[in-house]
Amino acid sequence: MSAKKRIRVAFGLAAVGALTIGLAACSTGDSGGGDGGGSEEITTVGFVAVGPEGAWREANEQNIQDTFTEEAGYDLKYAPATNLDQKSQIDAFTSFVDEGVDVILLSATEASGWEDSLKRAQEAEIPVILLDRGIEPDDDSLYVTRIAPDNVEVAKEVGTWAAATFPDGGNYVVLEGPAGVGVVNERNTGFDEGLGDSSLTKLDAQTANWSAEEGKSVFETMLKSSGNDIQLVFAQNDEMGLGAAQAAEEAGLVVGEDVKIATIDGTKNAMQALADGQLSYVHEYNPLFGETALEVVEKALAGEDVDSYIVVPSEAFDSAEAAQAVLADRKY
């Protein structure tokens, strides 16, 4: 992707953005005109969201809604997907374009299939900002920026930890998110890079749809088929890892001794589990980037330069002590 690009928007959109920023800063309630109407300009944001999908998604989307408030000068139209269905997202995206919203925030349920929608928004001069998930193929001429932690780098750190933790090898399995979601491919790529030439042996990889219940049932099946001969679980999100921990316990295995479980997201439940010894390694995937999204929206509407990919910093936690140290202040 290019390092930076100029955001092209109609003059009217840029003016609305600039006026909104000024109104929010001054909080005068005046329109600035001579008619004495006292009306304020509101920037309309269409949020094509994923909706219910676990603790991380709930924290992320609530953070966006708490940031783009009427008090801040925004009318946020929240449109979660119906049962994670991409068609419902495309329909919502199309409606936002037809309505003429000022900007669209997109958290895609699936990576592919967005080219036509993004081109329509571009023709309507409506800037689109990707939140969390990227698109495939990745054509950054169709959107302003992607705001997210770096999935590949985060998962790579998990793989590096795994290789160091098992210098003599062992068997491992992967619990994946839904097929077709870009984050799944990114986390697989990063984890494999982190493993490098490790002597760990991959026994299986199956989707558990980000769910604790499915993570438990899928790992139960994996344990039975391997005769409990699994030393490491890489769960691509916390919920699946927590489900795997339940399955391990019911199979008579001790997490941390017989099997180690590494997860990604860093929700409060996972951090508590790490502190309690029910997980072995948790890499945060920071969901709280509403303020960054707000800054990007203001820059886009003002026609300013924006980086094509804005990486949200995230931490790794590899011990009960590390998890315990942050639990009291954990916001999600």
Domain range summary for the chain, segments of one domain joined by +:
4-148+287-301, 151-285+317-327
pLDDT of residue 161: 98
pLDDT of residue 179: 87
pLDDT of residue 53: 84
What CATH code would you report for 151-285+317-327? 3.40.50.2300
Mark the ranges of the chain whose per-residue pLDDT is less than 50. 1-39
**CA atoms of 158 and 233, how far apart (whole Å):** 11
Contact 327, 272 (CB under 8 A): yes
User: How do residues 257-273 score in pLDDT, each as one tens digit?
Assistant: 999 999 999 999 999 99
pLDDT of residue 54: 84
Q: What's 155-216 look like in SS3?
A: HHHHHHHHHHHCCCCEEEEEEECCCCCHHHHHHHHHHHHHHCCCCEEEEEEEECCCCHHHHH
Structural Rg of the chain based on CA atoms:
22
The answer to whether domain 4-148+287-301 has CATH 3.40.50.2300 is yes
265 beta partners: 284
pLDDT of residue 58: 94
pLDDT of residue 40: 65
Backbone angles phi, psi at 130, to 5 degrees: -85, 130
**257 to 74, 248, 269, 277, 280: CA distances (angstroms):** 51, 11, 21, 10, 10
